Each structure stands twice: as C-alpha cells, then as structure tokens.
Structure 1
Amino acid sequence: EEQLFSIYILKNKSSVLLIKKSLHPFSESHQIFARVGDNITLPCRLKHDPSFSFGASSNRIKWSKLEGSDYEIGVLLSMGLHKVTFGRFQKRIHLLEADENDASLLMTNTELKDFGFYKCEISNGMHDSTFEVEIQMQASLSFTGVVFPYSPHLGRYNLNFHDAEAACLGQDAVVASFEQLYQAWKGGLDWCNAGWLSDGTVQYPITRPREPCGGRRTDAGLRTYGQQNKFSSRFDVFCFTVGFAGDSSLLPRLILTPFFSTAAEACLAGGAEMAKVSHVFAAWKLQGYDHCDAGWLADGSVRYPISRPRMKCSPAEAAVRFVGFPDKKLQLYGAYCYQAQP
C-alpha cells in the first residue's frame, strides 16, 4: 500500500516550506476569479458520514500554496483551538468555520502573489479530504488588462509550468487563462510560439494562418497542444497583467543611460524603476503608447512599443517589437523607466 506523507521544515512562525508533497489525490477542485484587492473565500469541507462526527475541535486543517515541483508554501495550520498563519498571509486570512466540517479560507486584500493554486487538507482521524483551489485574475469593466507572450533570456521553450508562473509574476503579471487568451485573439493577438495557460494547457493564437504556424489551410483560432506535464514539458507562457486605470503619467518613459548596469540607478534618480515587460505591453495596448527607440527593460530584454506602424519602426503592424537579450555592455540603447502609482 502506498504511504501518504509530507515532510515539513519549520523555520520560524513566518515561513513553512514543505519539501515533499503529500500524495493525497485531490477529491475536488475549484476555481475562484478575483481582482487585486478583492476579499475572497477558498472553499474546503470535510466529507464524511455525519453519524461519525468528532466535532470541529478534533479537525486538523492545513492550507498551503503550490509554488513549484518541489515546494509548497505554508498558509495556515489549524489543530483544534490552535491556529497558526504564515509569512505574508498573516493578518489577511482566517478560517470561515461556518460549521464543524467547514475549513474554507477567507482571504482579504488579495495581492498579485496570491494568484495560483492552493491545497487544503482536512482530517479528523477517521476521515480526510483534500481539495485544490485556483485563484485566477479577472479583469472588470473599469480595470482592463492585456495578454502578452513571454520567454526568458534562455530562449524559447525553456519554461515548465511552475517556471512560467514565476516568470509572469516577475513581470507583475499572472499566467493567462484560456478566456483571457481567447479575448486577446479576438482583439488581434497573433503569436506562433506555444505558451502555457493557467489551466495547464499549451496553446497559441493565430489570426493569419501560415506555415509553420499550423499551416495555411487551417482556420484562424487558438491552436492547442492540450494538457501538458507541468514539471517536464517546456514551452513559453502567455501572461496577463492589469492596466493603469487611465493615468497617462504612469506611461513608461525612455531615458538615456550609457550602460544597462546604470539604468536602474538612472530610473531611481527620476523617482521611478526600470520598466517591466508588462508595463510596456499595457501602455502600448491600453493607451496607445508609441516610441520608436529601443530600450532596456528590467529583465535584460530590449523592446519598443509601436502603435502607429511606419518605416524604420514597424512598417507592417502595431506591436511591441522585441530586439532580444543583447550583451548588457552594449551602449546602443536607452532604458525604459516606470513610475508606480502612489
């Protein structure tokens, strides 16, 4: 019989890392759609015959956030009257406890880092249940967003699913959902490299059928590779980021700096930070940002946004043009800076 277990390393009250995942199969899974700043409830209930109830005081509840192939981050641990919350979740979460079998988690003021997958394990010695809950980002009518493709400096097709999550988070974004990619495709997104979506599928949007992007005789649409192994399969990723709520002062701006190494200092001197890929895509897509000069971004890539196609900039289409990840010692580029909203 296969043994079910998990191993803890308890460093201190503010951090718990599980170095080996428990092997419990998920009995249920749920999706929650939220925006940054929302208060949400992540559902979890103990399923058992009520005639064998031990009462809430005997329930052991563990919530954790799935962060990759090897680690989970502790969120909450409850054993009867004793409850401990960890890290950045402290003071923002507590158990709903609507009845003796309810282990649902209330989360307030949802942050960008909160989006992703969570696991709830609840048991009372006789019965146990394990749930998976995904928090997905959702745009509202007043807070729109943009989907953009991303690959790291190592080149295309180098991200497993968990690397993809981290890559998007590093760009102030989350992995896009199928619905978000579909809406982006309807809006004209055309990209031949396949990328992860939040449901674990790998897809890419084509508005102009051509070789080798699925062939010329196929219809326009979302090409799919279906579900892929989140640990061993490697692709690019489609990220989703929210917009700037219409404040034109938040648009990235290009500055002149001799080296990439001094770009961050130059941006900071102007009360800003080096722009991320998400900042440039959001400014380009949502506010028509247009600048023909290529500039460094925080991830070491060089890009420039073109909303008005023209010669010597982007003659064929409006796009965020990608120069690549050049040698950082080159002095051919300025740097894009971004001033966060106060």
Structure 2
Amino acid sequence: MISLLCITMISLALAGSAYCQTATPASFISVKTDLGGNVTLPCRLQAEQTFFYGSLKVTWIKVGEDQSQNEDVLVSLGLHKRTYGNFENRAFLLDLEKGDASLVLLDVSMEDMGRYRCEIMDGMEDIIQDVILEVENGLIGGVVFPYSPHRGRYNLNFDEAVRSCESQDAIIASFDQLLKAWKGGLDWCNAGWLNDGTVQYPITKPRQPCGGVNSRPGLRNYGLRNKQMSRFDVFCFVSLLKGYFYWLVQPERLSFDEAVQACRDDDAEIAKVGQMYAAWKLEGYDRCDAGWLADGSVRYPISRPRKNCSPTEAAVRFVGFPDKKVKSYGVYCFKAAK
C-alpha cells in the first residue's frame, strides 16, 4: 500500500514537473534585426539528443500579454507544415531534419516585434525556448519622404495615408524617423500623418508660410487628429531597395500607358515612388531625366547637384502629375530581387 502511494506521488510529481517545464521556459534569447530584413529565431534539439524526424512536432507561437492574445505562427509535424495569419509565406523552419527548428522570418515589420515561443516535442524530452525579437526602426539606412496623391494636397485620412505609403513600397513613418530626417535636413511645409495618428511637418528654415519667420526650427505638431475626418498628406519611410531600380533607355518619349508596357516588355514593372527614394538615398542613384512612376507622377533623382539638375541640393525632384496621354517623358523601371 505504501509502495503504491509512493509510486502515485512520484508520478504526480513528475507530471507536475513536466507541466511546469512546458508552461515556463527556462531561458530566453534576444535577437535584433532591421526593419524589412530577414531574421532567424534560434531553437534546436541538443547535440547529443537522438530523435526520429517524422515524430517531431514543432510549434512556434507569438506570446501575447495573456494567453488569449497568443498568435499561432507555425506548426510542423513530419511532412506537414502550416503557417498562420500574417506569417503565411513568411515563416519557415531552418533545417528540421537535422534537429534545427529555428524559425526564419522574411520581410520583418515593426508588428513582428515581441516574444516568440518554440516547443519541440519528440516523445522523450521536450524543448521549450523563448526568443525576444527586437526590430530596429531603420533610422540608419532609410529615408523619409512626403507624399500626396494625384488629386492634390491634404486629401488623405489616416487609413488612406497608410495605404498610400504601402502602394509606393514604403510604410507610414514614425515620429522618431521624421525627427531623424529633420536632423538630417528635411524641410517640408506640408503637414502629414505619422503612424501614431499625429500630424506634423519638419522645418529647418523658418519662413512666413511655415510657422512664421521668427519661429524656431523643429517639428511643427498638430497633435492627434480624427483619423477618419481629418485630411492631410503623409510622411512615408523606406529602408530597403529589394531589387534593381533603373532608367529604361528608349528611342522616344512615352505616354503613361506606353511607359507601363515598356517596363513589362523589359521583364520589369514601372517603378514606385518609394523605390526611387530608396535608390536615390541608399544607392546614390542620379539621373537628370524626368520619368513616369507607377502612381502617374513624373520625378527624377539627383544625388549630385548641378546646373539644370537641382543646382542647390540633392533631392528627388517632383515634376507633377501630367496628363497620362502626353508623350514628354521616359520611364523608371524596377525588377524585384529573386
């Protein structure tokens, strides 16, 4: 009787110990990456641990403030793998056949930041590993640019502003990114949305239409605005050029539709505004030819100021949104990285 009681107590103790191990990982690892980059979150079986590949179950979750806020990322059992939600087509296991269940995340966003939990179950000894992912906001190696659509200034509510940046291969900028851009010399008198729902604009050269000649340089802040009713421009941010941006040499000037087709004929697509800014800022792209972009605007990037080509400053020059039927411009194309 005593022996049976002892066996029962030991069994319960072992079960409780296993439960605690599953609920509370013994340690965590911190990993940093840049916005828009790829990252590997480490998790693997111990070197001396033997296993049968087909029996391994791997689960990755993003841990919320409480259990109800946990997000499924990836589940793998033998040959069957599934990713979930925003992680579809972006999450992969590194090399599970060798016991490496590290999670590879592609095209990391600020929303990916947080705590991730890896659980490897092989029927013998479970592995539980927490990884803290920190995403750098890309203040170094990125560029903030103001954007307004073809219909003119101050026409975007907050949701439209977010979509406008995304449509130009960028994201809506943060306060820190705009502040860094202002310190780097960005001067723009049109107010634009930021990702926190505030509306601001950067002034390095005070003047009458932009807060007055006696005002100090800085970020002019309109504060939080109604995201649906208020309408402004937007400040966008791009940190990576994920492909090849180039001027397409053509014997004649093109209409907008002809420009789109010319890029397609070159196995590319017409370039977006964010791609031009990234090429100009991050790669020093310089071309004194005005060309069509995907939003119907005409612009050209100058990194070496000179006569007739932005003589006073390096800048992406904006010509406007001309009639798409006119044949007065060339075209900038973009080939995505493979």
Q: What range describes the TM-score normalised by the shorter chain of this pair?
A: 0.5 to 0.7
Distance 1:117 1:238 in 2: 22
Name the SS of the counterpart of 1:224 in structure 2: strand
- How far the C-alpha of 1:311 sits from its partner, in A, is 2.7
Matched letter for residue 328 of structure 2: L
Over alpha carbons, which structure has the higher Rg? 2
- Within the candidate set 294, 297, 300, 1:298 is matched to 294
Partner of 1:226: 223
Gaps in structure 2 of 5+ consecutive residues: 1-31, 42-60, 74-81, 92-102, 114-133
Tell me which amino acid in the other structure corresponds to 1:149. P
Q: Secondary structure at the match of 1:223?
A: strand
User: Could you tell me whether the CA contact under 8 Å between 1:136 and 1:177 is conserved in 2?
Assistant: no
User: Are 1:291 and 1:305, in contact at CA under 8 Å, matched by a contact in 2?
Assistant: yes
> Do the aligned partners of residues 91 and 208 (structure 1) sit closer, same or farther apart at CA in structure 2, a change above 3 Å counting?
closer
- Normalized per residue, which structure has more helix? 2
Matches within 5 A, 1:85-96: 89-90=87-88
Cα distance in 2 for partners of 1:116, 1:232 equals 26
Q: Which aligned pairs between 1:94-173 and structure 2 lie closer than 5 A?
A: 109-111=105-107, 138-139=137-138, 144-173=141-170
CA RMSD of aligned residues (A): 3.3
Q: 1:225 to 1:172 in 2, by over 3 A?
A: same
How many correspondences in the alignment? 248
Q: In the TM superposition, what is the alpha-carbon distance from 1:258 to its structure 2 partner? A: 2.4
Provide the rounded CA distance (Å) in 1 between the counterparts of 2:138 and 2:272: 20
1:255: which partner in 2?
249
Q: CA deviation at 1:305?
A: 1.0
CA distance in 2, matches of 1:331, 1:280: 21
Alpha carbons 1:160, 1:233 under 8 Å: kept: yes
Q: Which runs of 5+ in 1 are unaligned?
A: 1-31, 47-58, 64-74, 77-83, 94-106, 119-134
Q: Aligned with 1:217: secondary structure?
A: coil
Post-superposition offset of 1:270: 1.9
Change in CA separation of 1:304 and 1:91 when aligned onto 2, cut-off 3 Å: closer
Q: Over residues 117-158 of structure 1, what are the superposed CA-to-partner deviations in whole Å (9 max), with x where a residue is unaligned?
A: 99xxxxxxxxxxxxxxxx9872286xx211111111111111
Structure 2: distance between partners of 1:43 and 1:216: 51
Alignment of 1:335 with 2:331, yes or no, is: yes
Separation in 1, partners of 2:314, 2:291: 17
Which string of whole-angstrom CA distances, capped at 9 and with x for unpartnered residues, describes residues 148-191 of structure 1?
Answer: 11111111111111111111111111111111111111111111
Q: For residues 166-315 of structure 1, what are the structure 2 equivalents within 5 Å?
A: 166-244=163-241, 250-256=244-250, 257-315=253-311
1:321 equivalent in structure 2: 317
Question: How far off is 1:288 after superposition?
Answer: 2.1
**TM-score between the two structures when normalised by the length of structure 1:** 0.63
Secondary structure class of the residue paired with 1:250: strand
Q: Which residue of 2 aligns with 1:25?
A: none
Assess, with a 3 A threshold, how the Cα gap between structure 1 residues 261 and 185 changes in structure 2: closer, same or farther.
Answer: same
Partner Cα distance (1:60, 1:332) in 2? 58
Distance 2:162 2:258 in 1: 29
CA distance in 1, matches of 2:135, 2:175: 11
